[in-house]
């Protein structure tokens, strides 16, 4: 039964928590669309460049030791640069091409039904004792396919929990925790990895022009984090959420779970064979010392076509596996179906493309003005004088990101906003761009499940109301708060342990950064 979503101002609770959350929501609603926000910030950068250049504020570049002055963009020369660079700023914006290419491949896998069927098969075939583990794991895996976890896995998990005699909201909560609370943790690389890496690389160039950040920059840490998120999500569900919810006494009736059709099973067999062939080719090209995907001169895997071309690998995997499934399941019958799947995916990327255009202009202006270097050097000096570093700095960055996440939901928008400041500043302090990015990803993930401004939050409330008509935003917040707290504490501690052990965050991505010697 369809029920209207309860608006925040209809919540009657006078608790301190609700008052704080309602105030955050009111403030957040005053924040403009991220694209317009970047327009405003770009204008601020132009004015600030004039003010700082007039004040003749200078710093010494941490790499070249060159004296850096602010470049006045509020001038004839600045106007000319803005006009002539408008197009190239956009077309050379690193995250743009990588994200669009990766999603073109994944669009075929999604449109063919491969991803949807795989999630159904994974969850529906799980033993009852392992159901919670599998639901959280499926949520983590769903990140690879953009937003399918929100629209498919979460309602499916609630339905399956009810079908096996468990409280449906426990299934909803477990899936939501995996999909959104553990947003950055994944055992597979996806569009978000490419998107954030591109922004990080642009920001790192403020200090070192040739610095490269690959989409696999955080892979070791994030793949390990997936295990942590699954363990914490399962424990919170079984030990806190399920006992709190008790036995389900609502009116919703268990729905019949449809098994895979013969066509879907045939499609999965075809996709499995294609996966074995594709994986075999990857192993053949990477494992031997002279593998064709290694660096042709050195034989290195760290600086190889495989890692630098990981987006192309994702693209190829999506198309090959999607086509194999579509051929077997008869969901892709001709080349028109193939191109239509890609076209439909690009339609959904319209918002991102608009955001990327304005974010690219903001970052370019920030770099041209030299304000990035000036802010980074002075910020690093302040942190050095305050003796803030190590664990304190990690926790501070996570908390700062969490606070910002309550106001700006988009992971890319937030990172494009703060990366040009945080990444160079941390590099000056001796921390790698990959480490700063990993810290950001924790803070960006853990607050999603309790933020009313998260774009899918009202949808999840609507899913919950199917089983509890009285459920509202406060209901969902209370349900998800234990996950948010556990993920914040557990994931941050995990990063601190990783930090002390000095482990690489990904292939060739160390925790620390050393300025190049000139």
The DSSP code sequence of 101-112 is HHHHHHHHHHHH
- Our count of domains for the chain comes to 1
Opening angle at CA 355, ends 349 and 360, nearest 5 = 120
DSSP 145: G
Give the pLDDT confidence score for residue 10 in this predicted structure. 44
Rounded to whole angstroms, the Cα distance separating 43 from 378 reads 22
| 3-class SS of residue 289 | coil
- In-domain check, residue 17: no
Cβ atoms of 508 and 223 within 8 Å: the answer is: no
Per residue in 82-141, pLDDT tens?
Answer: 999 999 988 887 777 777 887 788 788 888 888 778 877 877 777 778 889 988 998 888
* pTM recorded for the entire structure: 0.76
What is the reported pLDDT for 298? Answer: 82
Q: What distances in angstroms separate CA 210 from CA 189, 202, 204, 207, 389, one per listed residue?
A: 24, 10, 9, 9, 26
- CA–CA separation, 443 vs 394, rounded Å? 10
Question: Helix (H, G, I), strand (E, B), or coil: what is residue 511?
Answer: coil
- Report pLDDT for 31: 60
Distance CA 298, CA 126 (A): 45
Supply 222's token pair.
């994030």
Burial of residue 480 (CB within 10 Å: 0-12, 13-18, 19+) is buried
Say if CB 465 and CB 181 are below 8 A apart: no
- pLDDT, tens only, 460-508: 888 888 888 888 777 888 888 889 999 999 999 999 999 999 899 998 8
pLDDT of residue 144 exceeding 80: no
Q: Has residue 1 been placed in a domain?
A: no
Whether residue 220 is predicted with pLDDT greater than 60 in this model: the reply is yes
* 518 found inside a domain: no
pLDDT of residue 5: 41
Banded model confidence at residue 269, pLDDT cuts 50, 70, 90? very high
- 93, 359 in Cβ contact below 8 A? yes
pLDDT score for 307:
77
The secondary structure of residue 516, as a DSSP letter, is P
CA distances in angstroms from 346 to 31, 101, 341, 349, 409, listed in the order given: 27, 10, 9, 5, 21
Give dist(CA 74, CA 368) in Å, integer. 12
CB atoms within 10 A of CB 514: 9
Residue 486 β-bridge partners: none
Over residues 12-40, the mean pLDDT reads 63
Q: Is the pLDDT of residue 380 over 50?
A: yes
Does residue 427 sit within a domain? yes
Average pLDDT, the chain: 83
Is residue 156 a part of any domain in this protein? Answer: yes
Name the percent of the chain lying above pLDDT 70: 87
Q: What is the pLDDT of residues 426-461, one digit of tens each?
A: 888 889 999 999 999 998 888 888 877 676 777 788
What proportion of the chain, given as a percentage, has pLDDT over 90? Answer: 26
Whole-number pLDDT of residue 72: 92
Distance CA 325, CA 117 (A): 10
The stretch 376-397 carries a mean pLDDT of: 77
Res 27: pLDDT: 60
Domain carrying residue 378: 32-501
**Dihedral (CA of 357, 404, 393, 443) sign:** negative
Residue 58 lies in a domain: yes
Looking at the chain, how many residues does it have?
518
Task: Specify whether the CB–CB gap between 163 and 131 falls below 8 A.
Answer: no
Q: What is the three-state SS of 452-501?
A: CCCCCHHHHHHHHHCCCCCCCHHHHHHHHHHHHHHHHHHHHHHHHHHHHH
Is residue 391 assigned to a domain?
Answer: yes
3-state SS class at 397: helix
Residue identified by tokens 């990140």 is 143
Q: Which two tokens stand for residue 496?
A: 């601190």
Both tokens of 197, joined, read: 């890496």
**Structure confidence at residue 233 (pLDDT):** 94
Domain assignment of residue 20, yes or no: no
Confidence grade of residue 518 (pLDDT, cut at 50, 70, 90): low
Residue 67 Rama label (left phi>0; alpha psi -120 to 50; beta): beta
Which 3 state secondary structure label does DSSP give 215? coil
- State the Cα–Cα distance between residues 41 and 47, nearest whole angstrom: 10
Q: Are 221 and 438 in contact (CB under 8 A)?
A: yes
| Measured distance CA(95)–CA(93) in Å, rounded | 6
Residue 6: left (phi > 0), alpha (psi -120 to 50), or beta? beta
């Amino acid at each position: 039964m369809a029920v209207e979503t309860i608006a925040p101002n209809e919540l009657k609770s006078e608790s301190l928590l609700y008052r704080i959350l309602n105030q955050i929501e009111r403030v957040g609603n005053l924040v403009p669309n991220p694209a317009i926000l970047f327009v405003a910030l770009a204008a601020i950068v132009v004015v600030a460049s004039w003010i700082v250049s007039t004040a003749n504020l200078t710093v010494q570049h941490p790499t070249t030791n060159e004296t850096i002055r602010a470049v006045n963009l509020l001038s004839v020369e600045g106007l000319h640069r803005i006009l002539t660079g408008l197009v190239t700023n956009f077309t050379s914006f690193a995250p743009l091409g990588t994200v669009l290419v990766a999603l073109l491949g994944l669009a075929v896998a999604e449109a063919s039904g491969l991803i949807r069927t795989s999630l159904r098969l994974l969850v529906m075939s799980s033993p009852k004792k392992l159901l919670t583990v599998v639901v959280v794991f499926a949520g983590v895996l769903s990140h690879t396919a953009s937003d399918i976890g929100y629209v498919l896995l979460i309602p499916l998990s609630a339905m399956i929990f009810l079908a096996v005699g468990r409280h449906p909201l426990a299934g909803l909560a477990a899936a939501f925790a995996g999909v959104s609370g553990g947003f950055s943790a994944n055992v597979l690389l996806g569009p978000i990895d490419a998107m954030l890496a591109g922004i990080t690389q642009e920001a790192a160039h403020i200090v070192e022009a040739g610095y490269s950040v690959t989409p696999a920059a955080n892979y070791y840490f994030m793949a390990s984090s997936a295990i942590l998120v699954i363990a914490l999500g399962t424990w919170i569900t079984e030990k806190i959420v399920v006992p709190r919810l008790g036995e389900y006494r609502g009116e919703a009736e268990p729905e019949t779970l449809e098994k895979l059709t013969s066509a879907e099973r045939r499609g999965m067999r075809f996709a499995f064979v294609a996966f074995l062939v594709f994986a075999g080719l990857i192993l053949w090209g990477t494992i031997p010392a002279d593998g064709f995907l290694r660096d042709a001169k050195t034989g290195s895997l760290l600086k190889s076509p495989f890692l630098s071309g990981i987006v192309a690998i994702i693209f190829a995997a999506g198309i090959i596996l999607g086509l194999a499934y579509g051929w077997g399941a008869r969901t892709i019958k001709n080349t028109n179906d193939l191109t239509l799947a890609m076209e439909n995916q690009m339609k959904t990327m319209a918002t991102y493309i608009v955001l990327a255009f304005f974010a690219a202009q903001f970052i370019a202006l920030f770099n041209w003005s030299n304000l990035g270097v000036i802010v980074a050097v002075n910020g690093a000096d302040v942190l050095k004088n305050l003796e803030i570093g190590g664990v304190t700095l990690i926790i501070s960055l996570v908390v700062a990101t969490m606070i910002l996440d309550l106001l700006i939901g988009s992971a890319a928008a937030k990172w494009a906003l703060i990366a040009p400041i945080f990444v160079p500043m941390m590099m000056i302090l001796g921390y790698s761009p990959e480490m700063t990015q990993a810290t950001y990803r924790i803070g960006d993930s853990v607050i999603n499940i309790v933020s009313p401004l998260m774009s899918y939050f009202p949808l999840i409330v609507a899913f919950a109301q199917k089983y509890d008509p009285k459920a509202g935003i406060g209901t969902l917040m209370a349900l998800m708060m234990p996950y948010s707290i556990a993920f914040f504490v557990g994931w941050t501690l995990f990063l601190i342990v990783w930090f002390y052990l000095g482990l690489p965050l990904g292939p060739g991505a160390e925790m620390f950064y050393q300025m190049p010697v000139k």
